[in-house]
Structure formats: structure tokens, C-alpha cells
Structure 1
Amino acid sequence: MGRAASAYYAGRDPFGRAGDFTTAPEISQAFGECLGLWAAVTWQMMGAPAPVRLVELGPGRGTLMADALRAVAEVMPAFRSAAEVHLVETSPALRAAQAARLPGAAWHERAEAVPAGPAILIANEFFDALPIRQFVRREGTWHERFVADGGFVEQPAEAAPALPEAAPDGAIHEVSEAGLAIARHLAVRLQAQGGAALILDYGPAGPGFGDSLQAMAAHGRADPLAEPGSVDITAHVRFPALGAAAREAGAATHGPLPMGLFLQRLGLMSRAAILARSNPHQAGLILSGAERLVAPEGMGRLFKALCLCHPGLAIPPGFEPA
């Protein structure tokens, strides 16, 4: 499930008020600025290698990266000079939007194609759009759920990944094999070449069961089966599984922790207050956007932050123990 995602993104810009959904970089420029400074401090902790690959997976319109680069150019120009921008994007429409904001960037179809070397990677709402498989517990055995003839069908699970041995009848277990494969690749790379990957997405911090498959269109819920390829199909990111896959492949992990807490530790609200004072006519919008990112009733609790990094790297900013 979720296999229509590539067709959905290929020929459209789905972001913003005129699209189907709005992501954190479009809500507040302070988001990208704080992540840029997070990357710069993490680079210093790595020993300031030059060059360093600054990579974004699924960069949307390029808003996050543009905000990040503007901030680091002002605060830490040495990092900006060392950073080579690499974008992992398959959509021609979105590549065009990114090129307008990020001249000089390099594009790749897959994360595995990014050139070797120390790297800092950011993946904001990337893993939720990857395909998933759903398994349903029926009378003590697992069945896989498929889409056929416009609806869902189930059949005994074959060639299935490792599934929980114990689960109540009717439980739904979701697996993103694509997401786990990328987490393993990043872990192997970071362990061998140095660096860190920051993952920001929505999903539970702990293990559990449930059907999280959903579709969005025009900022509202949609039927994921009604018009394949025309709606945004997503599923919750299973952070415990991502972290376990990364650790098994040799990386250290920090988090997941609520995104609101992470952003507050990075100073997002302080930065938003500065922006509001500089733009008094937009102050209300600026502050409400920042609050939406950190508030538990907004995106602050549902969204999580997870860091994968080289085992020898100190704890990156924002992930310090309470």
C-alpha cells in the first residue's frame, strides 16, 4: 500500500494552500532555520570536515533547505562554504521548484546515489510517504491485506517479514520495507563515513498495532482507494522499527522524542519571536505558525524527531537527556 505515491508526486506540487497539505517548512521559516543551525553545530561536532554532503530526502519545494542555508550563511559561514547540497527527489515538478530556490544543488533519484563522504541528512515527512505492507491477525495467524477490485482483500501471509508472535485477533501490523531499507543504508553509510541523519515525521514513539493508512486531498481526508495517484497516501512511521534497523546496521540512535520538545530545545519559539518583532504586520501569523509546530495539540506531539549517527559522535543538539 502507498505504491501510488510516486505517481502522485510526479507531476504536481501538492504543498501549500492550493495543494493537498502543508508541511512544517511552509508553516514557519524558523523551522528550516533551526534545522540549518542544528546541522551546522552537528558538523562542528563531527570535526568540521570539508566538504560535507548536506542532503535532504524528499525536499518538497526546497523551502526547508533554502531557509537552512540562509541561516547558516549568516551564523556559520564556514559550514555554508563546506556544505555541498544534495537533494533526493524523483518528481520533475518538484525538482523544478527546488532548482528555483537552490541553484547549484545536485539531484539524485535515490539516497544510495549521493556521493560518498561525511554527510548530514535531513528527512522531513519523507518516510511517511513510502510504501507499507499491512498484516492482519486472524485466528492466531497473520494474513496480508491487499488491494483488489477497488477494495481490500486478505490472504495468508507468504514471504512476510518478521511479524510479532503474539497479537490479539484483528490486530493490524504495518511494515515499511522501503523505509527500513533506507534506514539500514543510512546507518551503514554514517558508521563508515561519518555524519548524522535527522528524521522528522509523524507516528508512535513506541511499538503497537493499528491501521494508520490515510489519504489527503485539498487539506481534508480522502478515500485512499477512490482515485489512485490523485491523492496523497501516507501511513504513520514506525520509529521503533526504524531505530532498531539502524542500530543493527551499526549506527547510534537518539530519540524518538516529540518534535515540539526538540524544536523548543533548538530555540524555535525564540527565533519566531525575533521574526515577529521584525515583521509586526505578520506577527500573529508568525507566532501562530510556530506554536502549531510545537504545541501538543498541533504537530508537537504526533510528530517525532529521531537521529541516526556515527557511534562515536556526541549526542547531537536537541537530543540531550532530560
Structure 2
Amino acid sequence: MLKQKLLKRIRTSGPLSVADYMAECLFHPEHGYYTRRQPFGADGDFITAPDISQMFGELTALWLVETWNAMGKPADFCLCEIGPGRATWMRDILRTAHKADPEFAAAAKIHLIEKSPRLIDVQKTALSEHASQIKWVSAIDDLPALPTLLIANELFDALPTRQYVKTTNKWAERVVSEQDGQLIFTIGTGTIDADTLPLSANGAEESSIFEYAPAREALAQEIASHIARHKGAALFIDYGHVKSDLGDTLQAVRTHKQENVFANPGDADLTSHVDFETLNIAAKTGGSSIFPIITQAEFLLGLGLIERAGLLGTGKDEATQQAIKDAVNRLAGNGANQMGDLFKAMCITSTGLVPPAPFGQPNATNEIQ
């Protein structure tokens, strides 16, 4: 049981950072969440946008085809997804792309970045008709030296984050410790450079939380460097905030319900909101052009979500039409349990490449907004 292993480790070596706790819960080789569980879909712990409706993948496919056109239609290019899950998104993208532009589909050298042998087997089954086109790799460095279109959905939220707490005199790292056989939060000895804190940290109340995820910034910079070297674009969709800010967003989800982050280590999904401002800064540092962050609603509606829903519903029975309407609301709405505003879309490109709508021209100075 992972909880007992963590308690033993804490007693032996001292408290864990929140990032280390997340990493153990999610990726422990024997007891980790992604090692053992099937998290996706109605029968899992959470539902992602591709699971809600085929429209998500269809509209993304059209955006990718347009971006490929803007790149000059390279005869060979790398189409990459990081963290494909059950491969639902890529399956819908490939199905749509084959119909929309056979040249795009033929030119694509598909690479999926996945480390879980269990999930690779799931992906191979889902993408069996495209098997000859697909190669599974474990890192950005394994991608070919080709123009690249890279996508990732709900990737960064699962990468571990550290947490820092405002105390009387400083910001101290929040850590996971042990008390009476239970996991608890305590204050550690580590601190954070003041330059890393957001402006809202000035005058923050005691016990305020700041989350900082170097692993996310490192991955964004690595992707940006690849895009800058080999040309192309990357699209990231995840939930989070446009500007760096304070707040405790660490959460555990199991069977579609939130629970205490210490309740079931290794059996619940642990995530936190993505700080898109820091990702954009990291991508710029990596050499890519950056564009203003938009909401998932702006992304999908700008690509024709309403029009596509209308076509799908034409001639269908009332129940099917209602299901399509519900999917549109879930993907682009702003109410409870809806993704439209909470989820954001981020695009980076190599120098000189302007992605198609709904992303606009990069800022004149390529600054974060």
C-alpha cells in the first residue's frame, strides 16, 4: 500500500515536498495512479474533452490542417501528441484529417509520447488502422528532426507542483509530513526566491499559498526549443489561470468526485491548475513565438463548434440532438462542471509562423499578456 510506503519514507528521510508527494502518488512504478488505474472516461475517474464529443477532435484536426498549410505543406512532418491517454483525441483527429486533406494525412509521421506500457497497449488498439504510421517514444528528444505539429490535452496539470506558504516573515515550502500514522501538511525549511512570486504576493495574508511547478516550465521550454529548431507549432489545452496568482488548487479526484488529497494515495488523480503565464515565459525562453492565451470556449467556438453541432444533429432524433447540445455546453459553457472558461488554449510557433484563427498575431514585442 502506497500510503504505508510514504509514511515509512517520511519517518526515515523526512518530509516530502508537495511535488514529490504528487510524483509518488501518480507515477510510483508499482503503486502509482497512472501505473495501475484506468482513469479516463465514464468508467474511470474523470472525463476529458475528447471523451465528451468527437467534435473536439474534429475541430482540432481542421486547425492542424490549416496550420500545416501555413507551414508550407511540408511533405514530411511529425504529428505528435504527448500523453495520449486512450488515444481518443488522436483517433478523431486522424479520421477527420483523412477526409479533410488526404495530403496532410499522408505526410504525417505520427509519434506518441507515452511511458506507460499499459496505456500504450490501449492506444495501439484504438489506433490499429493507423498502426503503420505510428511510432511510440518516451521523450521529446526521441522525435525526428522534422517540422512538427505537437498537441497535448490535460498534460501539464498532472506534472508535480511545489507549494509555498506565507508565514510571518517569509514564504516557506509546504511539505507532507506524518502525525499519528496519518499524512498531514506542515511547514518545511525551504524558501522561494522573491522574484519568482507573483505581484499578488505583495501584502498577501498569512497562510496564503503559492504554487510553483518547475517541471512544467522545463517541459514547455523543451517543447519550444524543439519547435524553434525544426519549425512548426504546438497546441496545449489544460485548465488553469492566464496570470500567475496565489491559491491552493491541489485536488484529488476519484470516481468523478473530489476527495481529500491524503485519502487514497495512488488511487486518486492528483492535479493542480496550470499557470499559463509561466508556461508562456518558458516557451519564449525556449525560442518560440508566443500568442495570447484564449479560453477553450473561444478556441472551439472560433473553429465552428456550433455549426458542427448543427450538422451532427441534422435529421437525428430528439435524444441525440439533446446529447449534442449537452456536449457543446460541457465543452464551451461556463457553468458548474463546464470547461469553456476554466480550460485554456495556448499556442506557440516557430519564428515567422502565424497560426490560423482563433489565435491572432503574436504581440508586437512577443510579450506575455
- Range of TM-score over shorter length: over 0.9
1:282 counterpart letter in structure 2? T
Letter in 2 for 1:301: D
RMSD between aligned alpha carbons? 1.7
Alignment counterpart, residue 41 of structure 1, candidates 66, 75, 84: 66
- Which residue of 150, 153, 156 corresponds with 2:186? 153
Provide the residue aligned with 2:4 in structure 1.
none
- What letter corresponds to residue 311 of structure 1 in structure 2? T
Output one character per residue of 1:162-217: Cα deviation in whole Å (capped at 9) or x when no partner: 53284313221111111111100111111111011101000111121000000100
Q: What TM-score, normalized to structure 1?
A: 0.95
- From the superposition, tell whether residues 232 and 42 of structure 1 become closer, same or farther in structure 2 (CA, over 3 Å): same
Q: Which amino acid aligns with 1:57?
A: I
- What TM-score do you get using the length of structure 2 for normalisation? 0.83
Cα deviation 1:95-154 (Å, max 9, x = unaligned): 111101223221122233222211101110111011111111212311111112211121
Aligned equivalent of 1:9: 34
State the match for 2:43 in structure 1.
18
Alignment of 1:246-285 (within 5 A): 246-277=283-314, 279-280=316-317, 281-285=319-323
Partner residue in 2 for 1:120 = 149
- Which secondary structure does the structure 2 equivalent of 1:174 belong to? strand
Unaligned runs of 5+ in 2: 1-18, 362-369
Q: Which one is further off, 280-289 or 178-187?
A: 280-289
1:279 deviates by 4.1
- CA drift of 1:48 comes to 0.9
Deviation at 1:160, TM superposition (A): 6.3
TM-superposed deviation, 1:61? 0.6
Question: Judging changes above 3 Å, is the alpha-carbon distance between structure 1 residues 191 and 278 closer, same or farther for their aligned structure 2 residues?
Answer: farther
SS at match of 1:296: coil
Q: Name the residue aligned to 2:332.
A: 294
Aligned length: 321
Give unpaired runs (5+ residues) of structure 1.
Answer: none
Matched residue SS, 2:33: helix
Q: Which of 87-96 and 121-130 deviates more? A: 87-96
1:273 and 1:287 in contact (8 A); partners too: no
Partner of 1:226: 263
**Which among 73, 88, 96 is matched to residue 71 of structure 1?**
96
For 2:245, which of 186, 189, 208 is the aligned residue? 208
Change (3 A) 1:15 1:279: farther
What is the rounded CA distance, in whole Å, between the counterparts of 1:51 and 1:264 in structure 2?
30
Paired residues of 2:164 and 2:173 also in contact (CA < 8 A)? yes
